[in-house]
Structure 1
């Protein structure tokens, strides 16, 4: 949890400001999750800080709601925003040249303090399975 806060602060994810007059502060909470490997053993522990958006009132605190559906266009937009220095939680790096991929990971680690999670296992709810015959999506 401390490491997550440190990374968020280093990447300038937010800016502290004064609460505008007449506005109510929205709280936050830590959400913990255990990521499992395909065989059911523990892969890693995750923690993320989430706003308590359920305390907001439509028309007063916000005017629109957004669906959590991930479409290809949405993924492309998020990647474009990431280039513009917006916070990204997870990213997929792929390429045919393993040396170039390693150099890119090194540069990103020096700049943002990334953690390499290894080979892709899940993406948008799909399991990515590798074998000697190739890659399959489940």
Structure 2
């Protein structure tokens, strides 16, 4: 495993739509392992492939209950609403309040191509939405209600 550089806001890769992963191989497994290591080393709860410079539909998350790897994730259900503060490893030192669904269901593959369904509420729901937004070239700063704050 290796630490990867986290791309910062302003890098064009963060505004591009990611490609669907079609090849489930050792290279993908290494990427996922590296992303977990990078996320943990940066004290994050989620990390998307474009944040390490790769336009692939891959996300890793750990909101405190279990590590989750999402390959080709799709949000299949949302419910309710929450308004909470968010930050991002690609926008260091900044945070802002965003409106997100209170509950989210996601369908995604793992590193072997097997499909899984995950459901999250509160922080996990925000994380699903935030990280999947990255795969479509959307940063949380575009969803901030009010102004971006310094940490």
Q: For this structure pair, what is the TM-score category when the shorter chain's length is used for normalisation?
A: under 0.3
For the pair shown, which has the larger CA radius of gyration, 1 or 2?
Answer: 1
With structure 1 as the length reference, what TM-score do the two structures score? 0.26
Whichever structure has more strand as a proportion of its residues is 2
Greater relative contact order structure (CA < 8 Å, 6+ sep) = 2
With structure 2 as the length reference, what TM-score do the two structures score? 0.25
